[in-house]
Chain A
């Protein structure tokens, strides 16, 4: 087994520990102060994986579903580490860790991560920019979806007046979650815009390449529509959060099937 896989396994295990310890702390009515440290460990292992895998590929490792999945998990972790402390979004790590485990777990399924990946020879600046920026964008959009799920959980608790337990006590306020969600969507959209522009400018040898860009543009259009409605007309927090989650889940199809 290659070093890249070991890094990935270590990273996935650390994310699982972060999630499980976070949930256990919540069941005892507290929040774990160690989540961010576990997630830093996750991030360092992901960096190790990317360095080894990048060396093997000779380019940004984004050529298979498994590699894209791991890169997405890395991007999600990166944004969590950048955004979590700045916005002080309590429990974001507890909600992020399982998503990281799922993405990386998919890559670790037998036969998904090629142990001897083909070395990439013909790379272009636009092609690399498109891949890297698009997946970075999806990292931000994934974190927005995570914030959306947190909002939906809190909204349900407040509406149904089920206010007991560590989860309710430790979730950030509704308004802060919605503000963070909106900022993350803006960030994701800016990065996605750069990714799509680079996708248009990169050389396309097959129709499949264009199809990919068109679908990505469609996803981008969906996010633009959501943000315009939010800004101009206004939208309930629940619909906004559901929109962010639904669009992200839909956008995963761009990578999986197109």
Chain B
């Protein structure tokens, strides 16, 4: 039996091609069954995420199986450049190890892919499309993925501004379930950052914007509440995190304003995230003892540092993968 992988991902295919191959979570088992029919092979698994669709096959003849499969899929890529990559034998196993470890992801080192591949494998297993070759391969690959994550720092640090903000908020407040967030300015960046905080359990979100209707809209989206822009200072005494991104040409939050609510806040820690350019928050606000002020440059720098740390870890990850693949072959 020969191991084969045919796939396309964010590097080889635009979204309009990838979406034609996307398979919903509930259809993964069915897709694996179709794969067996299309390629005429005894074992097959379909992996599908927003950034990739990959077909793993165990076939008597790799070229024959690939030929049949590509023939069946040709119609879907009509009018576009060749989007597929192909791996055989050890290369296919190596590629799957990289995928599971997040080394082939758009966001290097991301962890979600591990669960997605596991889900795809379980669906195929339940649909009866796996056998001795793919079962052994996937079990090994999952253990390699775990090893890579525990023995390297490939997943450490946040590589997006939203996640850096969440990480810092958690470093200040611990669990965010007791933390209230205020969003100043209902732009896309503040929405994404606030959403990241909410997804990590932030207790409530208060949105304020010069156009009140827009604040109401965003607040509804996040199950929060909107306040008039003129009233934001009154809310400041209750919140723990402020995300500011108003697009105003001048400073919105001054040191004197924050100082005026310190007593009412009982000097609790306050995390201010200024992602506006020009900046919304006077940099002197950061001089207040209990205030942690981070602007867009600081957040981008932290995200950049995490990215470069992850890049440095690739070699270590690949060493682990090679060592484990060696054991798989023997």
Contact = CB atoms under 8 A, between A and B. Distances in A.
Interface in B230-272: 263, 265-269
Contact of A173 (B156, B171, B263, B266): B171
A168 to B, nearest CB: 8
B173 A173 contact: yes
Contact of B266 (A159, A163, A174, A233): A233
Contacts of B55: none
A237 B265 CA distance: 12
Interface in B259-292: 263, 265-269, 286, 289-290, 292
Contacts of B294: 161
B156 A238 contact: no
B269 A29 contact: no
B140 to A, nearest CB: 26
B24 interface: no
Contacts of A164: 305
A159 B268 contact: no
B289 A163 contact: no
Contacts of A238: 289-290
A172 interface: yes
Contacts, number: 53
Contact of B172 (A29, A173, A234, A239): A173
Interface string B93-124: 00000000000000000000000000000000
A158 B169 CA distance: 11
B131 interface: no
A173 B170 CA distance: 7
Interface string A145-177: 000000000100011010110001101111110
A228 interface: no
A159 B292 contact: yes
A68 B266 CA distance: 38
Contacts of A158: 168, 171-172, 292
B302 interface: yes
Given A159-B286, A169-B156, A234 B171 contact: no
Give the interface size bracket for B toward A.
20 to 34
Given A29-B153, A237-B290, 20 more contacts: A158-B168, A158-B292, A163-B168, A164-B305, A169-B156, A172-B174, A173-B171, A174-B172, A175-B172, A175-B269, A176-B174, A234-B263, A234-B265, A235-B266, A235-B267, A236-B289, A238-B289, A238-B290, A239-B267, A239-B289
B172 to A, nearest CB: 5
B269 A234 contact: no
B290 A236 contact: yes
Interface of A: 29, 154, 158-159, 161, 163-164, 168-169, 171-176, 233-239
Contacts of B168: 158, 163
B196 interface: no
Nearest to B291: A159
B127 interface: no
Contacts of A175: 172-174, 269
B266 A234 contact: yes
A237 B153 CA distance: 31
Contacts of B305: 164
19 contacts: A29-B153, A154-B171, A158-B171, A158-B172, A158-B292, A161-B294, A169-B156, A171-B171, A173-B170, A174-B172, A233-B263, A233-B266, A234-B265, A234-B266, A234-B268, A235-B267, A237-B267, A239-B267, A239-B289
Interface of B: 153, 156, 168, 170-174, 263, 265-269, 286, 289-290, 292, 294, 298, 302, 305
Nearest to A158: B292
Contacts of B298: 161
A236 B270 CA distance: 11
Nearest to A176: B174
B148 to A, nearest CB: 16
Contacts of A235: 266-267
B163 to A, nearest CB: 13
Nearest to A164: B305
B289 to A, nearest CB: 4
B168 to A, nearest CB: 8
B265 to A, nearest CB: 7
B269 A174 contact: yes
A239 to B, nearest CB: 7
Contacts of B290: 236-238
Nearest to A154: B171
Nearest to A238: B289
The residue among B170, B173, B289 with the most chain A CB atoms within 10 A of its own CB is B289
Nearest to B297: A161
A102 to B, nearest CB: 29
B302 A173 contact: no
A235 B265 CA distance: 10
A175 B267 CA distance: 12
Contacts of B265: 234
Contacts of A171: 171
A234 B267 contact: yes
A172 B173 CA distance: 10
